[in-house]
A and B are shown apart, each in its own frame.
Chain A
Amino acid sequence: AQKITQTQPGMFVQEKEAVTLDCTYDTSDQSYGLFWYKQPSSGEMIFLIYQGSYDEQNATEGRYSLNFQKARKSANLVISASQLGDSAMYFCAPRSNYKLTFGKGTLLTVNP
């Protein structure tokens, strides 16, 4: 089974500052994808960003970017210019073949 480690159960950030959420994973697959999802208190799962294991460039989607270090099996999410609406649970989720496995998540709180 895949092992995913998100070492920060909770993080606090001031509004408008940047924050990095850590994720490491353990896979023996050569081809895989890395996803980050956001889950606000309403419970919906919102896709944020995707990185393919063969992508040479780090993925970016608006205020979200991935710091992908394949050799270290690390895919940290960077959120720039935090907003109050960013307060939520964030899950790192590697996908291998058709299965998506979630890390335990990081609860991010953005303070005004």
Chain B
Amino acid sequence: DAMVIQNPRYQVTQFGKPVTLSCSQTLNHNVMYWYQQKSSQAPKLLFHYYDKDFNNEADTPDNFQSRRPNTSFCFLDIRSPGLGDAAMYLCATSGRKNEKLFFGSGTQLSVL
């Protein structure tokens, strides 16, 4: 019954080696989000899509990119991961404005 699915649960990459995290949803929601959550901190919004419209947060580093090829899938690309990018990455979806967000279980990224 999982509605927002993130794969993999754990991802290990090397310093500077590009990595892609994936998210899929079965809710047919218009909006998809990527949050970064570092240890003992609050989740921080990186960007979101409203349908195909991409909305980047002003303080999201250029190193982070995203793709949404269709309604169901959204990808987070980290072009050159640094040690500071080690974090939990949470994908979320929502439908109407001011409706609650549905979260995936997250991908824990480690950078060696």
Tell me whether A97 is interfacial, beta carbon within 8 Å: yes
- Nearest Cβ distance between residue A82 and chain B, in whole angstroms? 22
Chain B residues with Cβ below 8 Å from A32 are: 98
| Total count of chain B residues near the partner, CB < 8 A | 24
CA of A13 to CA of B45 in the docked complex: distance in angstroms? 31
A44 x B105 contact (CB < 8 A):
yes
Interface size range of chain A in the complex: 20 to 34
- For B68-83 the 0/1 string (1 means CB < 8 A from A) is 0000000000000000
On whether the beta carbons of A50 and B42 are closer than 8 Å, the reply is no
Q: How far is the CA of A100 from the CA of B41 in the complex (A)?
A: 15
The answer on a CB contact under 8 Å between A98 and B103 is no
Residue of B nearest to A49 (CB): B100
Q: What is the bound-complex CA distance between A102 and B101, given in angstroms?
A: 12
Query: In the complex, what distance in Å separates the CA atom of A67 from the CA atom of B45?
Result: 26
Q: Are B103's CB and A44's CB within 8 A?
A: yes
Is there a chain B Cβ closer than 8 Å to A43's Cβ? yes
Contact with A along B99-112 (1 / 0, CB 8 A): 11111011010000
| Any A CB within 8 A of the CB of B8 | no
Assuming the A-B contacts A43-B88, A104-B42, A105-B42, are A98 and B105 also in contact, with contact meaning beta carbons closer than 8 angstroms in the complex? no
In whole angstroms, how far apart are the Cα atoms of A52 and B41 in the complex? 26
Chain A 68-112 per-residue mask, 1 if CB under 8 angstroms from chain B, else 0: 000000000000000000000001000101111111110000000
Q: Is the CB of B101 within 8 A of A100?
A: yes
- Complex contact A98–B94 (CB within 8 A): yes
Give the chain A neighbours of B42 by CB distance below 8 A: 91, 102-105
Q: Which 3 A-B pairs have the closest CB atoms?
A: A45-B103, A33-B98, A102-B42
